[in-house]
Amino acid sequence: MDVLERYEPIVDDFEAFVAACERPLPSVVRVNTIKTTADRARQALADEDIAVEPCDWHPGLLRLPETQPGANWPYFHGWLHGQEEVSAVPATVLDPEPGERVWDACAAPGSKTTQLAALMDDRGLLVATDTNLGRISALRSNAERLGVTNLGITNEDARNHSLKPWAGEAYDRALVDVPCSCEGTVRKNPDTLEDWSLDHVEGTAGVQKGILTRAVQATRAGGTVVYSTCTFAPEENEAVLDHVLDAEDCAVVDYDLPLSHVDGVTEWQGEEFDPQVAAAKRIYPHHNDTGGFFCAKLEVAE
């Protein structure tokens, strides 16, 4: 847990934070509203004697008891999809409308992509991009099981994403859930901190800056971009926002989040960030018994 000690200056109740990081993560599934409703899914599970607890802030997220096996017919038939609770935050914040053009810049294996499709009622255009062919295979499999049909998939580096295959038109919204150092996943991946290095964090941040920059460029004036990570590192969170705010004509905007959280930090190890980054949200494991997450909402200038 030595890596986590670097965050003691910015984490409230640091002892509770560390204790939460050492506990296993609760299992959660998301109801796939392309195929069913939350009520029908809960009833189907009840009929199989599977007790679930809806998450207070999102009726479509169901917590499974510790003894609950994940194999059940509603899951196999695409009514449910395993998705960590805080992983559902970015798509919820992006809030796409049916019929819109939406880009998921780092999409595979598809939990957030398929959530976006459901929010769009499987209408409009949803473009999902990833660099890893193996992960794209998982994305395709998940999309097929969940009944997604409004999806186009590209195998490319999001930093060089081209609009040409999609009629050259800018997107209405873009989700940028970037690859990161994954510190916030320590509850489900206890080994994630063993190979941690500051060099890796800083190198990853460079890639993140490029992806978020391209997402802002590819989104229409007045459009929305959501940036998220599952790491605590300000180098990958607020510092990335600060870079893009300086380089592109956009702004970080506030949003409602019915989960306990704290504001983005405006200073880290002697570096000051644009005050706008305070509107981003940091979710720590001890706040809601979840993984760790960072999420910011940006609007492209008109």
47-85 pLDDT, tens digit per residue, is: 988 889 999 999 999 998 776 666 789 999 999 999 999
Instruction: Check pLDDT > 70 for residue 139.
Output: yes
Q: Which helix (H) or strand (E) holds 298?
A: strand 293-300
Largest CA distance in the chain: 57
Mean per-residue pLDDT, 178-188? 96
CA angle 119, 257, 222 (to 5 degrees): 60
Residues that are catalytic: 230
* Residue 66 pLDDT: 73
Average pLDDT, the chain: 96
Place of tokens 């050259």: 168
Backbone CA torsion sign across 285, 287, 289, 294: negative
Residue 114 · residue 81 · CB < 8 Å: yes
Mean per-residue pLDDT, 236-257? 98
3 state SS of 65: coil
* Residue 70 pLDDT: 65
What whole-number distance in Å separates Cα of residue 284 and Cα of residue 183?
A: 11
Whole-prediction pTM value?
A: 0.97
* Residue 1 pLDDT: 55
Mean per-residue pLDDT, 175-202? 95
* Residue 200 pLDDT: 96
Mean per-residue pLDDT, 112-139? 97
Domains of the chain, earliest start first: 2-11+85-300 (3.40.50.150), 26-83 (3.30.70.1170)
189-240 pLDDT, tens digit per residue, is: 989 999 899 999 999 999 999 999 999 999 999 999 999 999 999 999 999 9
Of 80, 136, 85, 133, nearest to 107 by C-alpha is 136
* Residue 276 pLDDT: 98
3 state SS of 283: strand
The percent of residues in the chain predicted with pLDDT above 90, rounded, is 94
Mean per-residue pLDDT, 267-284? 98
What token pair was written down for 286?
A: 């001890």
What whole-number distance in Å separates Cα of residue 248 and Cα of residue 212?
A: 10
* Residue 32 pLDDT: 98
pLDDT confidence tier of residue 105, bands split at 50, 70 and 90: very high
Instruction: Check pLDDT > 70 for residue 298.
Output: yes
* Residue 168 pLDDT: 92
Residue 241 · residue 281 · CB < 8 Å: no
Alpha helices, DSSP H, located in the chain = 14-21, 38-47, 73-76, 89-94, 111-119, 133-145, 198-217, 238-247, 285-288
**Residue 123, Cβ neighbours under 10 Å: how many?**
14
pLDDT confidence tier of residue 188, bands split at 50, 70 and 90: very high
* Residue 64 pLDDT: 87
